[in-house]
Structure 1
Amino acid sequence: MRSVLQSSLEMHASEIYTKEMFKRFQKELMKSTCYIVNSVKNNGTYMSKLYLVEKATLSKNCKRKYRVTVFMYEKIECSCKKFEHSGMICKHMIRYLDKKQKIKIPESLIMGRWTMNDNKIAGPLPYAPLAIGNDGASQPLRYGALCKSFQDLATSDSCSISRYKYLMGVFDIEKRYLKDAFADEDRSERTHEAKTQEDYQHDPIFDPPTSKTKGRKKIKRFKSGIETATSKIKIKPRKCNYCGEIGAEHDARNCPLREEHDRRNF
């Protein structure tokens, strides 16, 4: 992207948007330079104005016209629906604002979630920590509450070495205390787990049910054509289409009579 801001709209976007969204705005701004704006005089209503935006670099047969409608209080809509889909102003709206020499993006086209000051205005996200006396809470809820508390401690106390060393010392002391104070509880949990495993240890394990496969049922080994023709049990004996011999060990391609006939003619 360009390092020098060349328009007032780009300057205003750099002040309000986040870094990633400002890059997207710059891409839309660069694409908007290829478009032209034409106003429609009689659009059927006095509450709005209609503008047709089309790409100037395409031929007349390939041009597609986008409808940019301007309502009261600087409310703008485009037929491409990019703003409704992603919350980012599209190149057609930017081309209209540039034509009208607007120095700022209208507030109706600025989504709060893409701005830098949105977190300051909205404040921290509401978070209700798990109550200490809540015995009915599940293990995933307790795990999530502990992770959130430890994450807050790591964020606030990792800024200096002294805080980091103090907090790590407290963790070591508390881990030793928990290990000694709740040793009986840990043993009872391990015993319960061992009993549960012993209950399932003597259960018989059966083979899975046999599933039916596709195709005909195979009883015997499939035989080749020569083996079928020369076998004693002939279901359908082999026949040479050249000499007419039944039960022959050859076919019309390698028949001896045909080879002799070809040798004579040659």
Structure 2
Amino acid sequence: MEKFELQDNTWLNDMYSIRTEWIPAYFNDTPMSGLLRTTSRSESTNSFFQHFQNSGDTLTQFYSRYESAIEKQRYINSKNNTASELIPITHTPLKIEKDAAQLYTRSLYNFVREEILNAIHFTKIEEMSTVQGIKHLKVKDKLMKDCFFEVSVRLLDNNVDCSCKFFARTGFLCRHAFAALHNCEATLIPRQFVLQRWMRNADNIDNGLVPPELKNQCSKVHRIKAKFSEMWFDFQSCMNYVGFDEVKVDDMHGRVRKLKADVQGSEYELREQPLTNDVDRLYDINLRESVVVQNPNISRNKGTRKRLRSGKEIAINEKPDKRRTCSICNKKDGHNARSCPLSK
């Protein structure tokens, strides 16, 4: 602000006065692992679905391609779950890396393994002291231009705290913490630093998507949708337990077909109201009310404005014509008085 003489700018002064509310450096102590901005969420969704949809699709085409996109997401999720069931080969003989391979999913294990390798090759403990059962270490990080970080380890339960606050931002330990744990001869990752969302069996542990204290406050439709999600995750967990055992697969298939027949029989016996009433109950909409739908306002689509030209293109178009002018015809056609057609 001083460099560009903006001290009197009202907006910049207001933003500077509330800098503790929007600058990420002020949130180092706040757990932000997995934080997703609203713009990132919408942009990632648009980036995924734009490979399936076209601007001129009909409603039927949109629904069909939307189902294809959802099936692809389910396939990727199933593929990742299968990959996470296999324990990867470790790169070091350290027991703490073997523990990480057994705990984390395949994708997160790659990040944790990189931090463990960096702790071995690019960190160095300069100072160390023990006070009241807590070991204080001063770790030099070669990857951060030899910066020093303060790490404290409680020897009773290997509770580690690093000044870089990497765990609060990402959800897994940093290389400084792994260097300190290795110095303390820790063979396992402290379980208080293993978040459930990164574990290989996360979907088998937590099937309830809605907290129990909030379920009673939701509407009936929302509760039913939450139960649908819980049933889906329960069924997926059962399929993961079955695996590729043919006997268990046949038994599971028989149970599902029997359950399907029972559900269909009870549904056909109890169904007395038309389908429109089911739609009303599902979406809380009274379809019998008259609704007047107006055509939307016509708006210009993206890309209809003039193309932005680069500086090079503008300079080429505005470049003066340096060709010679004929003294006979006064034209710049690339000839002179000797070769002018009028002189012949």
Provide the TM-score with structure 1 as the length reference.
0.50
2:136 is the alignment partner of 1:49: yes
1:104 aligned partner: 187
Change beyond 3 A, Cα 1:157–1:124? closer
CA positional deviation for 1:146: 6.1
> How far apart in 2 are the matches of 1:260 and 1:77?
88
Is contact 1:75–1:108 with CA below 8 Å preserved after alignment?
Answer: no
2:146 aligned partner: 64
> How far apart in 2 are the matches of 1:51 and 1:77?
12
User: Partner of 2:290: helix, strand, or coil?
Assistant: helix
CA positional deviation for 1:102: 1.0
1:34 aligned partner: 121
> How far apart in 1 are the matches of 2:100 and 2:234?
36
> How far apart in 1 are the matches of 2:195 and 2:161?
18
User: Partner of 2:149: helix, strand, or coil?
Assistant: strand
2:253 is the alignment partner of 1:253: no
> How far apart in 2 are the matches of 1:37 and 1:118?
35
> How far apart in 2 are the matches of 1:251 and 1:87?
77
2:273 is the alignment partner of 1:182: yes
Provide the aligned length of Structure 1 versus Structure 2: 207
Q: Deviations 1:148-193 (Å, cap 9, x if unpaired)? A: 47647856998634432322222322332344x1149759x8xx85
Aligned-pair identity in percent equals 14
Structure with the larger helix share? 2
Provide the TM-score with structure 2 as the length reference.
0.41
* Counterpart code for 1:97: L
Is contact 1:35–1:95 with CA below 8 Å preserved after alignment?
Answer: no
Q: How does 1:154-169 map to 2 (within 5 A)?
A: 160-169=252-261
Structure label with greater radius of gyration: 1
Q: 1:83 aligns with which of 167, 177, 192?
A: 167
1:18 aligned partner: 104
Q: Which runs of 5+ in 2 are unaligned?
A: 1-87, 240-250, 281-285, 300-304, 307-324
Q: Deviations 1:116-168 (Å, cap 9, x if unpaired)? A: 6888998966447978xx9x946x43651563476478569986344323222
Is contact 2:123–2:179 with CA below 8 Å preserved after alignment?
Answer: yes
Q: How does 1:107-186 map to 2 (within 5 A)?
A: 107=190, 110-113=193-196, 114=198, 126-127=211-212, 137=219, 140-141=221-222, 144=225, 147-148=228-229, 151=232, 160-179=252-271, 181-183=272-274
Is contact 2:141–2:148 with CA below 8 Å preserved after alignment?
Answer: yes
> How far apart in 1 are the matches of 2:154 and 2:275?
73
